[in-house]
Structure 1
Amino acid sequence: MTLRKHLGHPLREYALPLLLLCISIVTTTAIGARFMQNFVNNQPSVVTETDLWPWPWLLQHPANFRLGWSFSLTLLFILLTHEFGHYIACRVHGIRATLPWVLPAPTLSGTAGAVIQIRSRIPGRRALMDVGVYGPLGGYVASLIVIAIGFCLSHPAPRDATPALIQFGRPLTLDWVYWLLNRIAPHLVPVGNSFLHITRHPVLIAGWIGLFITSLNLIPGGQLDGGHILYAISPRLHRISTLLLPPVLIICGVFFWIGWIAWGLILLIPAMRHPRVEAEPTLNRGRKALGLIALLLFALTFSLTPFADSSLLYYLH
């Protein structure tokens, strides 16, 4: 994700990103340790609500903290690949931008994702397309690598497996990666129905989170990556999409995943309004092709129900 904002103090250029990264390493490793312990016990990643807040367990068993490194490092690899895709595109076009900020948070992943902040004017729509698309493109490729490794590290779920507290959705990418691995090296992947009926290694969960973050960033509105891409193609379509998306997402939150309500409200924040970007130079064929690739990535990563039984109606009932 990229956001335009003016920052002044050089201390923020290096010290704050490094501090946030260090805290994120701790929070993602903590939740990863709980995932790994459940995996070793042949259980789903999240069995009880206490799995989402592993600190009391880690205080009792501090040595278990090391179990979370595989999840933490792979997830941070995906997040930083995504953000450095934006950062490098900014440098190529002479746009001033901060280093990536990885945001620690008490979430399923131990982080709220990562952002860079753009500190100078974007010179044109070609640059805007590059800045918008190279983040999710890099993050998607990183997620593919992690998912392939995660499938190979996972194993079949037992018939009497403990019910999972959180049931993950299944974007199309998971199915085609599993299908491809079965064709190339069937002995390396667990027998099962793709992502749903296997005991998932934390690395595979990190890959799933990478896909989820990619899909959220590619929502075509505001200053999300998808918003940048759509604005580069057509400011008029971007305006229409940004107006229609909040009510559509709020409705989706009622029937599919309650989190869509939050994203609908986020797009209403004034800071999410897209600044004007010059039309010249116009997009060439290569940049238009990048827009189509971004649309394909959105289709491959998006799921109306990323978490089962999580709509507003479900919680009200």
Structure 2
Amino acid sequence: MDERGPPAEAFAGLFRVSQRRVDGDQLRYYGRALVPGDRLERRLWPVFRDRGYEVRLTTDTYTERDPFTGVELSRQRHVLVATPHSTGLDGVPWTNLLFAGLTVVSTLYAGSQWYGVAVDGPLDILAGWPFAVAVLGVLGVHELGHYALSRYHGVDASLPYFIPLPNVIGTMGAVIRMRGRMPDRKTLFDIGVAGPLAGLVVACLVTVVGLFLPPVADPGFPIEFHYPVLIRGLADLVGQPLDYPGRETVNPVVFAGWVGMFVTFLNLIPVGQLDGGHLVRAMLGKRQATIGALVPAALFGLAAYLYYVQDAAFNAVFLWMFWGVFTMGFAYAGPTTPIYDEALDGKRLLLGFVTFALGVLCFTPVPFEFIP
């Protein structure tokens, strides 16, 4: 008999086991929960973690034949699904490395276009290295912030996946995949806040460095980017201009800082699986659902204001309409639910409010507009 995982006797009074099945590394206990699901998971979480597993309560549909009529009937039963707890790497992360390599190439190419370099050979894209390093540094540190705190708290997470895209940035950003469960609100908060704060620090450093670099010839992209309050404040603080006369523009490294701040604001939208959704869930508990429901309405309202009052460019209206629809999906899916739901301490609550305030400084109603 396979003796992995806790024995059925450990669930006495909590879960009545009718069948136990081993499916590869996964253990499945079929039966009936004797207490509410959230209470069951809280009680069994340490029992399974002591054996090296994480547990989740689900339901399973099966069929059985009625002994009197012979008719097959659909039944439901509870299932405790236990998966091995791991925070280490499982071999060489080839997919992560492949996507990172492709993103290096795409951001180098985008950078070379920002610097006005004609790419006649493969090595010509190396001219865009300052922009590529700045963009990948901002995005990479953001995701590594999440990853580092996941490892610190013992939550299983993947390394960052960079997403290459042939646009003026060269990428659609980076993500990590959270595979483990959140044990408590403190862990959820720490992992959620680490990414935006780490990425924003690098975005500010990149912006300041870019402001001291020489301007470049306007690459002639049919798009104009507008600066948020934070970039304008940094420029005033160090006494460097954001606008140049003639056909010159700030060094593209400044634009890499703009990318980091724009990504920070979007990630801090307080809904669902976004970083902001994690923070609000950790800070307010289940009351987060109210805020999550209001977010799409606020974004639709912003789009309407820009269209009817400000007569803004259509792309800005479309941007916030798109994010309104996008966040509706996030709100429906809901945030991550921790096993233990105790309130946060005062220091984390204060840090959460400061983080959202910094996110507001990264906001501009019309981030960019296309030039006809």
Same fold flag (TM > 0.5): yes
Distance 1:19-1:63 versus aligned 2 partners, 3 A rule: closer
The alignment's TM-score, normalised by the length of structure 2, stands at 0.67
Task: Indicate if the aligned counterparts of 1:13 and 1:99 stay in contact, CA closer than 8 A.
Answer: no
* C-alpha contact 2:268 2:277 (8 A) present in aligned 1: yes
Q: Distance in 2 between matches of 1:154 and 1:94?
A: 45
Take 2:255 and 2:111, find their aligned partners in 1: how far apart are those partners? Answer: 9
Distance 1:17 1:272 in 2: 26
Asked if structure 1 preserves the Cα contact closer than 8 Å seen for 2:230 and 2:361, the reply is yes
* Whole-Å separation in 2 of the counterparts to 1:280 and 1:147: 39
Deviations 1:212-267 (A, max 9, x none): 11111111111111111111111344212221222332343453512222222222
Q: 1 or 2, which has the higher helix percentage?
A: 1
Q: State percent identity of aligned pairs.
A: 32
Partner residue of 1:242? 292
Kindly tell me: are residues 119 and 71 of structure 1, through their superposed partners in 2, closer, same or farther at Cα, counting changes over 3 Å?
same
Deviations 1:99-122 (A, max 9, x none): 011111233311111111111110
Distance in 2, Cα, partners of 1:259 & 1:131: 28
Q: Which runs of 5+ in 2 are unaligned?
A: 1-82
Aligned twin of 1:119: 179
- How many residues are paired up? 274
Looking at structure 1, the residues matched to 337 and 139 of structure 2 have their Cα atoms a distance apart, in angstroms, of: 27
| 1:29 aligns with one of 105, 108, 125 | 108
Distance 1:196 1:281, change over 3 A: farther
Q: 8 Å contact 1:82–1:139 — kept in the other structure?
A: yes
3-state secondary structure, aligned to 1:268: helix
Higher alpha-carbon Rg: 2
Cα distance in 2 between the residues matched to 1:80 and 1:164: 26
Alignment match, 1:180:
237
Give the equivalent residue in structure 1 for 2:253.
Answer: 203
1:152 aligns with 2:231: no
What secondary structure is seen at the aligned counterpart in 2 of 1:37? coil
Equivalent of 2:135 in 69, 72, 75? 75
1:83/1:115 contact within 8 Å kept: yes
Distance 2:343 2:169 in 1: 39
Distance in 1 between residues matched to 2:195 and 2:352, nearest whole Å: 13
Gaps of 5+ in 1: 1-5, 39-56, 183-188
CA deviation after TM superposition for structure 1 residue 207, in Å: 0.9
Tell me the SS of whatever aligns to 1:170.
coil
The match for 2:281 among 227, 231, 242 is 231
Secondary structure at the counterpart of residue 114 of structure 1: strand
Find out whether 1:295 has 2:319 as its counterpart: no
- Greater share of residues in strand: 2
TM-score (norm 1): 0.78
Q: Given that residues 110 and 166 in structure 2 are in contact (C-alpha distance below 8 angstroms), is that contact kept between their aligned partners in structure 1? A: no
Residue type at the aligned position of 1:35 = W
